[in-house]
A = this chain, B = another copy of it.
Amino acid sequence: MKFLEDVKIGDVLMTGRHVFNADEIKSFANRYDPQLFHVDEEAAARSHFGALCASGWHTAAAWMRLYVDHTRAEHDAMRARGEKIPAVGPALGLRELKWLKPVYVGDAIDYKSEVTDVRVSNSRPGFGLMTLLTTGTNQNGVLAISFISTTFLQRHPETP
């Protein structure tokens, strides 16, 4: 992520793809969401989902990991060019998180974030607020997850 002044409404971040395998689905769910359809193939087959599928929290957390990796790679590239790296402030939260389709074993989810708002922060000098609409789409082009998030982002130090 660049400084606030480098970001504009409509910018799109392709944060990457995550393929959900059974081991990881069960490992996450055993720790954080042990409903039977997330941890047991046979019970999942008898459930309303029809097969083992990932916890919704897992499908969100997988995006976070890709986003952190994406940001780190961007900062590494900026550092290599001798550029300053912006400080990343805390995330404020989410709006309208929707789990639209189950994510089954083998599903490949492509995550994409679009900048929908950029503004200067009144409460935190030197920072602005960036709002992203993030979607996760499966290999059949079907939307599986979407949410809106807002995060503090540093303003460029040279901005008056």
- Name A residues whose Cβ lies closer than 8 Å to a Cβ of B: 31-35, 48-49, 55-57, 60-62, 64-65, 68, 87-99, 102, 147
* CB neighbours of A57 from chain B (8 A): 57, 60-61, 64
Q: Complex: how many Å from CA A60 to CA B94? A: 12
Selected from B88, B98, B99, B147, the residue in CB contact (under 8 A) with A35 is: B88
* CB neighbours of A35 from chain B (8 A): 68, 88
* CB neighbours of A55 from chain B (8 A): 64
* CB neighbours of A56 from chain B (8 A): 91, 93
* CB neighbours of A90 from chain B (8 A): 48-49, 99, 102
- Chain B's nearest CB lies how many Å from the CB of A57? 5
* CB neighbours of A94 from chain B (8 A): 94, 96-97, 147
9 extra interface residue pairs, beta carbon distance < 8 Å, beyond A34-B65, A95-B97:
A31-B65, A33-B61, A56-B91, A57-B61, A57-B64, A90-B102, A93-B147, A94-B147, A97-B97
Given contacts A61-B33, A68-B33, contact A95 B95 (CB under 8 A): yes
